[in-house]
Amino acid sequence: MKKTIVFFVVFGFVGWICLWQHSFFLKQYANFFTVNNAAKGADALVVLSGGMMNRLPYAIDLYQQEYAPIVLITEEKKRVVSPKLKQLVGTNVDQAKKILQALEVNVDLIVVPSLKGGATSTFDEAYDILQYARQQHWHRIIIVTDSFHTRRALYAFEKVLGKTELLIQSIGAPNPIFDESNWWQTDSGISTYVLEGIKYLVYRFTEQNVTFVKNY
């Protein structure tokens, strides 16, 4: 009986601590996924597909700050849509061109050709970038993506590149809606960080797309 009482007292105390300090633990969880280790003087900035409206403008800022003299975007797989809606759904490249036009900036933007007719995952992008970087004899590149995606992206690139001499760094574009300090207060933040935890675990056990996850 005494052991049972002690158990519930300890359990209740731990639960109270977690509830009282929930923001601290949630912030630490989100901070794990963010890796900002980029330095100026790289050979190229690589903007990963997805979230182009957020990632490319940030990459342009980094370009103007002389982090790298070139901005790369990857060639993503075209999405399957109704023929009547095809003109309304642009590709990664289409969006990039519109962003540059809207911002009225002159950037040396290069589209990296895909090895499989369009990337559908970060692993695909890593293989595409590796081939292109080897052709250019680059030594260091910077991945530009959303903050919550930096650790997984960096891990995928490092796993694909293996023991090559190419150094990979990453930097996260800030999200206009949520960040590591408040992600649990919005639906989009919750879905993003919960899914990111699952995706990261999947990436830890593979070096290519998995059949049970549709990457588009």
The answer to whether residue 50 sits within a structural domain is yes
Determine whether 187 is exposed, middle or buried from the number of CB atoms within 10 Å of its CB (0-12, 13-18, 19+).
Answer: exposed
pLDDT given at position 15: 42
What does the pLDDT look like over 153-168, one tens digit per residue? Answer: 999 998 888 767 889 9
Q: Give the mean pLDDT of 133-154.
A: 93
Cα separation, 161 vs 122, whole angstroms: 13
- Mean of per-residue pLDDT scores for the chain: 81
Q: What is the CATH number of the domain that holds 58?
A: 3.40.50.620
Which is more confident, 140 or 19? 140
On whether residue 15 sits in a domain, the answer given is: no
Work out how many domains the chain is built from and give that number.
Answer: 1
pLDDT of residue 207: 67
Q: Which residues pair with 110 in a beta bridge?
A: 72
For 185, the domain range is 30-204
Q: Is residue 70 part of a domain?
A: yes
Residues 6+ apart with CB under 8 A from 59: 45, 47, 71, 144, 173
What pLDDT was estimated at residue 8? Answer: 37
Q: Contact, 26 vs 124, CB < 8 A?
A: no
Residue scoring higher pLDDT (1 or 184): 184
Domain presence at residue 20 = no
**pLDDT for the residue 13:** 38
Domain-embedded: residue 16: no
**167-173 vs 109-112, strand pairing mode:** unpaired
Would you tell me the crossing angle of helices 150-161 and 187-204 to the nearest 10 degrees? 20
pLDDT tens readout for residues 170-188 = 999 999 999 999 998 999 9
pLDDT, one tens digit per residue, over 90-129 is: 677 778 888 888 888 888 888 888 888 778 888 889 989 9
**Would 173 be classed as within a structural domain?**
yes
Q: Is residue 196 part of a domain?
A: yes
Check residue 196 and give its pLDDT.
93
pLDDT of residue 49: 86
pLDDT at 18: 45
CA distance 30 to 189: 10
Q: Is residue 11 part of a domain?
A: no
Distance between CA atoms of residues 207 and 55, nearest Å: 24
Q: Where is mean pLDDT largest: 49-63, 86-100, 140-154?
A: 140-154
Per DSSP, helices labelled H in 22-138 are 22-32, 52-64, 92-103, 122-136
For residues 130 and 159, is the Cβ–Cβ distance under 8 A? Answer: no
